[in-house]
Each structure stands twice: as C-alpha cells, then as structure tokens.
Amino acid sequence: MSKRSEKVPFPVRRALLKLGGDIRNARRRRRIQMGTLAERASVARATLHKLERGDPGVAVGLYATVLFVLGMLNRFSEIAEAAHDQVGLDLEEEHLPQRIRHSRPGKKSSERVA
C-alpha cells in the first residue's frame, strides 16, 4: 500500500475500490481490451490499471474521461447533484441567510453603517 493510500480515509478508499472495479466490469462487459480503452482515453495502460484498482493517486479527470469513453459520464456528473444532497436540502429548508458576515474587531454593532 502506498503512502498516499494510507492518508485516504477508509470509506473513501472503499468507494474508490468499488468505482475502479465497476469501471473494470463495465469495460469487460463491453468486451474492450485494456489497451484499447487506455488508447481511447489517452492514458497509459499502467494508469488505467491503477484506476481499475482504485488507486487514490489517479486524477478525478481520468475517471471522468474513462467513464466518458464507456458512455457512462452522465452518472459521474450526478455525483453531487442537489437532489441527492439530503444534508444540503435540510439546511436549505431552514432558510439560512445568503451571507454570513463576521463583525470586525474593535467595532460595535451600533457603529456599523446599514
């Protein structure tokens, strides 16, 4: 295990392993050889191998490129979609202010200009 993967939280590591495995399975279901996919994605075969193993050192842009080549980019672009962000939706329901301003040190709230 590399030093970089030791710094990644376990749930993130598990998610990357799953994503890499899912990409590998998608490639195999399409009967695309690793070298062919690497060429279409303009990456080295070794990099594609790392991606399929869930290596945390692989850039997120490469994951997106490989998913594009496999015809699966739409799912990638929905990862942080607002409809799936339950915490964000709950906070939005509380009607939080758009701006949060911190008071300057040394000024009292009565001295501020409206």
Domains of the chain, by residue range, sit at 3-93
What rounded mean pLDDT belongs to the chain? Answer: 86
pTM score: 0.71
Mean pLDDT over residues 14-38, rounded?
A: 96
**Which of 43-47, 50-54, 96-100 has the lowest average pLDDT?**
96-100
Compute the chain's Rg from CA coordinates: 22
Whether 57 shows a pLDDT value over 80: the answer reads yes
The confidence score (pLDDT) of residue 100 equals 77
What letter does residue 102 receive in the DSSP assignment? P
pLDDT of residue 102: 83
Report the top-level CATH class of 3-93: mainly alpha
Are 34 and 27 spatial neighbours (Cβ–Cβ below 8 Å)?
yes
> CB–CB of 73/64 below 8 Å?
yes
